[in-house]
Structure 1
Amino acid sequence: MTWSSYGTYLVFVVLVVLAPGPDTMVTLKNALAGGTRGGLLAVFGIAVGNLAQGTAVALGLGTLIVRSQPLFTTLRWAGVVYLCYLGVQALRSARRGDYGMLDAIGSRASGFRRWREGFLSNITNPKVLALYLSVLPQFLDPVRSTAWDALLLAYTVAVLGALWLLVLMALVHRVRAWLQRRRVRRSLDAVTGSALIGFGIALAAEG
């Protein structure tokens, strides 16, 4: 792998990372409900999930998962259920609108819960696995490339993805006072919940 091909890969990854997806919505959900700490823990969970899937693909395990139809289908439906579950939670928050009580509950939520939401939303999303499997081979020389090259490409996605979510967190923090207004927050919860359910439905339809 040359630096030129890696540069082309970086451009592609940046475009993929900037596209809104489940990870973006889960980060926003946890940043609004759990503050900066909640958002950061969700981002950390997402990054760990990304690293796990990238490592699996780089070491050849991703291909085995995709070729095992029962395992891949189970993973896909677990992702569908979990995204819809998170979406329903956000919609319920929007419908109730009682953010004083919800914030009190959210402040007591364990850090592991925030981390877990990020991790599970990523690790149960087979689209991430499919992305690695379809893109990485195009930038690897089947003769000269090593497992380290594959790991570098995979971890680039995880690192840039985490950096973008951290930038998003910083933007949320800057306008947090405005976002905490009841009407604005209800609208954001409604949009976030609808988007998460939409991602889940789209994932289910791909079967």
Structure 2
Amino acid sequence: MFTEIIAAAGVLALLTVVPGPDMAVVTRRAVSSGWRDGLRTVGGITAGLLIWGVLTVAGLAAVLAASAVAYTAVKLLGAAYLVFLGIQALVRSRKGAPPSAAVPGAAADGGSPWRTGLVSNVLNPKIAVFYTGLLPTLTPHSLPSHLGMALLVLLHATLTLVWLGGYVMVLAKARSFFGRPAVRRALDRVTGVVLIGFGLKVATADS
């Protein structure tokens, strides 16, 4: 069983470190509002994974993954939210950083960073497909299916928390650089375009 868990952890770690919408959302919030809000965003993302994990163990995520209508509805909502965040970043880059952005932990973008992370992940139906499609193949054979799935969900959430949390702290070390107005505007534009790109990719992706 230990060998199977190590192998599963390796696969989950590789999937976790691949840049995606989560990293773009965390980058935007950490740079604009400070490391505390960055970590709160990571907490929301992790909570979103746990919610999908509970739904997966309960069998509800499989229903979503199998329903074209439900999948498409969640997919379009998630895509719209990513595009909204991207447009918000582009608008912010044109206006310049508000005074609150200079204060570590200030919510320069408004709203709850934890909620931003949570919503961006809860509205990502790809996680339902990932959990119901891939995790069962990684579950240790010596464990009951629901226990093995729960273990892997907790493992994935932990890896995500550690990886993105460490990424936020790296950004914090370079805060003096990212705090420069020109750099901040450029990063807002880049993350805005990336978020919109991810949103369009999610909207047009096949289930």
TM-score, normalization: structure 1?
0.91
Q: CA deviation at 1:95?
A: 2.2
Which residue of 1 is the match for residue 170 of structure 2?
171
Identity level (%): 33
Report the count of equivalent residues: 205
Q: RMSD value over aligned CA atoms?
A: 2.2
TM-score, normalization: structure 2?
0.91
- Aligned partners of 2:93 and 2:196: how far apart in 1? 14
Which residue of 1 is the match for residue 101 of structure 2?
103
Letter in 2 for 1:99: A
Structure 1 residues 62-104: Cα deviation after superposition (integer angstroms, max 9, x where no partner): 11122232221111010010000000011111222x2144627
The 1:163/1:123 distance shift into structure 2, 3 A limit, reads same
Deviates more, 1:7-16 or 1:100-109: 100-109
Name segments (4+ residues, structure 1) moved above 3 Å. Answer: 108-112, 141-144
Q: CA deviation at 1:144?
A: 5.2
Q: CA deviation at 1:60?
A: 1.4
Asked if the contact 1:58/1:154 (under 8 Å) is kept, the reply is no
Kindly report which structure 2 residues correspond to 1:112-131, keeping only aligned pairs within 5 A, or say none. Answer: 113-131=112-130
SS in 2 for 1:99: coil
Which residue of 2 is the match for residue 11 of structure 1?
10
Q: Which runs of 5+ in 1 are unaligned?
A: none
Which residue of 1 is the match for residue 66 of structure 2?
67
Higher helix proportion? 1
Which residue of 2 is the match for residue 205 of structure 1?
204
Asked if the contact 1:38/1:111 (under 8 Å) is kept, the reply is no
Which residue of 2 is the match for residue 193 of structure 1?
192
The 1:161/1:93 distance shift into structure 2, 3 A limit, reads same
The 1:141/1:40 distance shift into structure 2, 3 A limit, reads closer
- Aligned partners of 1:76 and 1:202: how far apart in 2? 10
Letter in 2 for 1:57: T
Structure 1 residues 131-177: Cα deviation after superposition (integer angstroms, max 9, x where no partner): 11221111236785231111001111111011101100110110100
The 1:33/1:15 distance shift into structure 2, 3 A limit, reads same
Letter in 1 for 2:23: T
The 1:26/1:154 distance shift into structure 2, 3 A limit, reads same
Structure 1 residues 41-79: Cα deviation after superposition (integer angstroms, max 9, x where no partner): 111111100111122112211111222322211110100
Which residue of 2 is the match for residue 37 of structure 1?
36
